[in-house]
Structure 1
Amino acid sequence: MKLLDVKDLRAYYFTPQGPVRAVDGISFDLEEGQVLGIVGESGSGKSTLGSVLANVIRPPLRLVSGQVLYRGSNIYSMDPEKLRQLRARGISIIPQYAMNALNPTSRVRDVIRDLLLSHEASSDELNYRLKLARERALQLGLPPWALDRYSIELSGGMRQRVTILISTLLDPEVLIADEPTSALDVVVQRLVIQYLKDLLDSGAVKSMIFITHDISLVNEVATDLLVMYGGQAVEYGPVDEVLGNPKHPYTQSLMVSIPEPGVRIAKRPLTGLKGEPPSLLSPPSGCRFHPRCPLAMPICSSEEPPMVSVGGRHLVKCLLYRGERG
């Protein structure tokens, strides 16, 4: 069953210098049971895309065009009450800066209670969810007293896990996890990843969009992968195909920049990608990657490549494959 249908999504930051094209023509579907990983360099538009998908759009960010259909309904044309009910139950987001997402003047348990009451939880559901919150806190490695404290009394890692707990407490059908392990040590990262997997395996969460810069985590969690560069999707497909046989030169560059377990650096030196990510205030003409691309052709600077299939659901936005079917 299709939960999300994203159609030619464009969202720009409007600044005095002009629009910053952070999300510029993104399209994909998200089916029930699917985990879509999104990777790319800092500044590629990953987190902005996550916010726009959850309809968390605040100035100077503005939706320019496109649709996000949740079960066939456009979330951008929903009335405020329907949108309020959608959040946390239909679509929920774990924000990138999760440590700063909690109200420092409220105890964690009161934040949870307010969330449940805002969604008109019955007394039975309220008691069930409060009990569930404590059970899930233990899954996340939080001590029993953590939910009774103010957020400022908790460490940064504990606050991040509390935010993850609150974002998943109402069992959203679509969970957008934006860098959920970024500030955690490797032991706690493992707890968080297992927690998210358990929610998916139990059906509590129906599907997930997992935004990260860590390709090793994507390979462990995701079923599909979308690679972003310069505000656009440059490669998409099943995660094993994209990582096992990357087609876009940018994806290939990402892969060779990752250390291979068990292989000495002297035997396989890491190769970085020359140049800087493009300015989305004035992006390059043609293919946005062409100024840094080792395989760039003269036509790449003038013609924007279409997204074409290189076999099945594996899609790539590159003129090297312009003879393939779209």
Structure 2
Amino acid sequence: MSRKLLKVKNLKTYYKTRMHEKIYAVDGVSLEIEEGKVLGVAGESGCGKSTLAHSLMGLYIPPLYYSQGSIEIDGKEIIIDDKEYLRKNVLGKEISYIPQAAMNALNPTLKIRKFIEDIMAEHRPNLSKKDVYDLAAERFSNLNLSPRVLDAFPNELSGGMKQRTIIAISTILNPKILVADEPTSALDVSSQKIVMKLIKQLLEKQYIKSLIFVTHELPLLYHIADDIVIMYAGEIVERGSSDEVIFDPIHPYSKALMASMLVPEKGAKDQKLVAIPGSPPNLKSVIKGCRFADRCKYADEECRKSKVHEKILDNRIYRCKK
């Protein structure tokens, strides 16, 4: 049986506005991921996907704040007060992050090798610059990038090369868990295919042990994820295998999300796209009932008045009274 690398329990993180209002973008999220598995996180813009990705790092930079909950990586709690220990011993080694809009994450005035030298100076100071270069060149070659990229400036690289370079830099320390936040959103179809293949290679070559893949393109997860969680308004509303969530969703939001997307599957060509009415709730205020109730055609007064707890059906988790 595979060991559970990541355990998140009742995690709550929020943004604080200038008026000192708290916006709980992640509100009571619990999830687990096993070694060797890919967990997809999907939902429309503003559902809390990227905030969850940031929150899993355990390092909270204002206006993002930690409220409660736990994050365990390989049995060790990473919600700690010693931020310097977290930077040196957890980030990059235990868990690493590919940021959204990663192509803009590189300083245009520095060569690629400089980024890697800075990482190694912090985490593996015993290595000489030549050792670092040789290690990076080997890693880049293994990930289908020419070692010549190391001596290039970011503006000399194409969009797809920048994205692959960010992935290589993010995994240079072989983290146990990689969190990829919308890694294909700004790429054309050909570059998306290359990046997806590269990410799969990271698992196959044991550069990473597990992957959390965040995207708003739910059908994309069918080709990479073992399990999928659907987020809505800061909560997880459904979790199941890729086949279950994509082809047989339970929660009304999951169903509506799939109905609003184009999919390349056989027979889907003649299906009409259905827009989800309304907009997500305001997370500044306390929501007593189901957060999807005002947009759900099945909702009644009971859905709006009382808190909706998770249910389990054949190892699938969903949050709905129906």
Q: State how far apart, in whole Å, the 2-side matches of 1:128 and 1:217 are.
A: 38
Please, which of 196, 210, 220 is the counterpart of residue 199 of structure 2? Answer: 196
Q: Is the contact between residue 138 and residue 144 of structure 1 (CA under 8 Å) also seen in structure 2?
A: yes
The amino acid of 2:119's aligned partner reads L
Please, which of 229, 232, 239 is the counterpart of residue 229 of structure 1? Answer: 232
Give how far 1:144 is off.
Answer: 4.6
Tell me the matched-pair count: 317
The amino acid of 1:158's aligned partner reads M
1:6 aligns with 2:8: yes
- Structure 1 residue runs without a partner (length 5+): 321-326
Q: State how far apart, in whole Å, the 2-side matches of 1:98 and 1:252 are.
A: 30
The amino acid of 2:184's aligned partner reads T
Secondary structure of 2:222's counterpart equals helix
2:173 matched to which residue of 1?
Answer: 170
Distance 1:140 1:58, change over 3 A: same
Give how far 1:61 is off.
Answer: 1.0
Give how far 1:155 is off.
Answer: 3.9
Give how far 1:138 is off.
Answer: 4.9
Q: Which of 226-235 and 201-210 deviates more?
A: 201-210
TM (norm. structure 2) is 0.91
Q: Is the contact between residue 111 and residue 152 of structure 2 (CA under 8 Å) also seen in structure 1?
A: yes
Q: Is the contact between residue 59 and residue 83 of structure 2 (CA under 8 Å) also seen in structure 1?
A: no
2:106 matched to which residue of 1?
Answer: 102
The amino acid of 2:281's aligned partner reads P
Distance 1:179 1:55, change over 3 A: same
Q: Is the contact between residue 141 and residue 191 of structure 1 (CA under 8 Å) also seen in structure 2?
A: no
Distance 1:13 1:162, change over 3 A: same
Q: State how far apart, in whole Å, the 1-side matches of 2:251 and 2:187 are.
A: 31
Q: State how far apart, in whole Å, the 2-side matches of 1:62 and 1:264 are.
A: 42
Query: Deviations along 1:71-106, whole A, 9 cap, x unmatched?
Result: 222211163443122111110000112123223332
Q: Is the contact between residue 49 and residue 231 of structure 2 (CA under 8 Å) also seen in structure 1?
A: yes
| TM-align CA RMSD | 2.1
Q: Which of 34-43 and 56-65 deviates more?
A: 56-65
Q: State how far apart, in whole Å, the 2-side matches of 1:203 and 1:144 are.
A: 21
The amino acid of 2:229's aligned partner reads L
Give how far 1:133 is off.
Answer: 3.1
**Aligned counterparts, 1:39-50, within 5 A:** 39-50=42-53
Give how far 1:139 is off.
Answer: 6.0
Please, which of 81, 91, 100 is the counterpart of residue 95 of structure 2? Answer: 91
1:239 matched to which residue of 2?
Answer: 242
1:305 matched to which residue of 2?
Answer: 308
2:188 matched to which residue of 1?
Answer: 185
Give how far 1:297 is off.
Answer: 1.7
**Aligned counterparts, 1:64-83, within 5 A:** 64-77=67-80, 79-83=82-86
Give how far 1:284 is off.
Answer: 4.0
Q: Which of 269-278 and 147-156 deviates more?
A: 147-156
1:112 aligns with 2:116: yes
1:52 aligns with 2:42: no
Q: Is the contact between residue 129 and residue 169 of structure 1 (CA under 8 Å) also seen in structure 2?
A: no
The amino acid of 1:15's aligned partner reads T
Q: State how far apart, in whole Å, the 2-side matches of 1:116 and 1:222 are.
A: 31
1:319 matched to which residue of 2?
Answer: 321
1:270 aligns with 2:284: no
**Aligned counterparts, 1:14-33, within 5 A:** 14-17=16-19, 18-33=21-36
Secondary structure of 1:5's counterpart equals strand
TM (norm. structure 1) is 0.90
1:36 aligns with 2:39: yes
Distance 1:264 1:105, change over 3 A: closer
